[in-house]
Amino acid sequence: MFMNRKSSTNLTKSAPWFGADDMSDSGKTIAQKLQAHAQRLNEGQSWVKAALGATPAQSFLREVAGLRVDASRQPWDQALRRDLTTWSLQRGLDTFRNAQFAGEQVNRSEARAARHCLLRAPDHVLNAKHQSALAATRLRFLEVADKIRQDPNIKHVIHIGIGGSDLGPRLLVQALSSIHASGLDARAAKQPDIHFAGNGDLHELEAVIARLNPYDVQIVLCSKSFSTAETLVNAERLKAWMNNESQDLFKARSIAITANIKAAQAFGVSDCFDFPDWVGGRFSLWSPIGLSAAVAIGSEGFKSLLNGAWDMDRHWLESDPYENLPWQLGLLDVWHRNAMHYNTRCVVPYDARLSRFPAYLQQLEMESNGKSVDQAGRAIHHASAGLVWGEPGTNAQHSFFQWLHQGTEPTPVEFIMIERPDHSDHAAHRKLLANALGQSLALLKGKSLDQASAESVKLANPSWSREQLAAHRTFQGGRASTIISLNRLDPSSLGALISLFEHRVEVAGFLWGINSFDQWGVELGKELAIDIENHMNSSQIHPDPQTALWIKLLEV
Ligand code: F6P
């Protein structure tokens, strides 16, 4: 799998171990070491044997900000981690991290900083950094959230937005509002229901409003640009729905969260919150974009979310790289892609409330690191982000786990567990956790042909031998997984979890040499859609024959 030293020129094309400009001796030495590690760990699947017999001292189990992360069942060991860490330091990851936090324009194609971390910093940190306006906005939007939450006239909030203006708030509401409706919060009985409509397909919104009375509704319009087509389609429909009931009801009951206040006002919303353009959409849930979530969990809950994230931020900013969780997991992500050549990573939360977490991660990881050029616009010659995907467990065990265990594409899995349930059936919860642990062990351990043959099973097909059936019941094993556990699913632990994933994305993006903070790849499709829509609305024939054919067939 790995080329030897003689072909080092080729190596630069297939792995990021050499920086684009770094052909120094120290750069070459560390690259050679990393290759040797890959050979050593893969040979006879030695990493699997080591992982199965790991002592606590050899395992990778870290506890940070209320999270436990166990990455012991991965194709790495202490020696590799040390060399990967050295490599990342040689590449200047610490300088990049500090520069990002200090507000340098790490998003070079848009000439912007990426300071979303500041949104969760406590007031005294913001004041010291001359960012007291951020603290003031936070105070104001959380006050508004509590007001909406306690207003007896507001029974429903409709949150409109897409991408980063939807996935984060939707995740938070789904993950956390049931906790706050189950007795932990005395005001819960009165809190409004939160509904989401993001899709450009109006069926989603129609299904929501069909059941509601416009007088009971508060609208929260989220769009950084306030020009996103889907959001405007939904907003127009809501405006018509409300104003049809009473003129100006829409204006009275709408709040816009945007970096383009003028556009929101021109649309007819006067009540607005803005946020700086250095907050990327997929990093914006900490800003007033989180308003609907703050309504669902209350201002104290939201502050606790921010505090949990900030705990992880401090760990990221201050702890030793070798002990630093986002740093190490980011290195593992790079190792997966560029040494193990895993194309995808599966994330399985063993908690139904986290069912939107994989979708949230898809934007975070794939919009950030699904790139083929470096910051300067030069082609990169190594793999960058792969596909991240998943579904909650145990549901997933009854759908795609067959593929994970016996398919031909070894894929690392991340199991996310919640240690303490918010219901009282601890036996049922133990069963759930046992399933997560069992799956992780099965992926690693597998079951050999001999083991399968030795088991006495009934032969459904009498003409078959035991060995024949055993082949179907064999598990290759040697499949990597990480276990992440949260003590409880609460705002603080979820904040820490999301912050951990944000930073590991930054680590991997930096080491791949790409800009994790732009998203030019979403533009072409949008442009072509506008052009096609114009053709649909006119008698002009579209220049692409197949598109022209479809326009005719669809007759819209
Ligand atoms: O199309 C991608 C994207 O630009 C995302 O990056 C963003 O989160 C989403 O659209 C929504 O954008 P906006 O918040 O400007 O409506």
The string of pLDDT tens digits covering residues 107-139 is 999 999 999 999 999 999 999 988 999 999 999
Residue 33, pLDDT above cutoff 80: yes
pTM: 0.94
Strands 344-349 and 387-389: parallel
How confident is residue 22, by pLDDT bands cut at 50, 70 and 90?
A: low
Average pLDDT, the chain: 93
Range of weakest confidence among 15-24, 343-352, 380-389, 420-429: 15-24
Q: What is the pLDDT of residue 189?
A: 56
Q: Nearest residue CA, atom 1 of ligand 1?
A: 522
The atom of ligand 1 lying closest to the CA of 259 is 15
163 CA from centroid of ligand 1 (Å) = 5
**For residue 174, what are its two tokens?**
């789904």
The string of pLDDT tens digits covering residues 195-214 is 999 999 999 999 999 999 99
The string of pLDDT tens digits covering residues 263-317 is 999 999 999 999 999 999 999 999 999 999 999 999 999 999 999 999 999 999 9
> DSSP string of 275-317?
--TTS-GGG-TTSGGGHHHHHHHHHHHHHHHHHHHHHHHHHHH
165 CA from centroid of ligand 1 (Å) = 7
Distance, CA of 438 to CA of 79 (rounded, Å): 28
**To test the ligand 1 pocket, which listed residue (109, 162, 528) has its Cβ within 8 A of the most ligand atoms?**
162
Positive/negative CA dihedral, 415, 416, 419, 423: negative
110 CA from centroid of ligand 1 (Å) = 15
Percentage of residues in the chain with pLDDT exceeding 70? Answer: 94
For residues 382-400, average pLDDT: 97
**To test the ligand 1 pocket, which listed residue (224, 227, 365) has its Cβ within 8 A of the most ligand atoms?**
224
The string of pLDDT tens digits covering residues 234-252 is 999 999 999 999 999 999 9
Distance, CA of 410 to CA of 342 (rounded, Å): 7
Q: What is the pLDDT of residue 24?
A: 67
Q: Nearest residue CA, atom 16 of ligand 1?
A: 223
**Active centre residues (catalytic):** 367, 398, 526
Contact 346, 389 (CB under 8 A): yes
Distance, CA of 296 to CA of 176 (rounded, Å): 8
**For residue 64, what are its two tokens?**
């940070």
Q: What is the pLDDT of residue 158?
A: 98
Q: CA nearest 518: which of 346, 371, 311?
A: 371
For residues 449-468, average pLDDT: 89
Q: Nearest residue CA, atom 8 of ligand 1?
A: 164
Distance, CA of 369 to CA of 109 (rounded, Å): 14
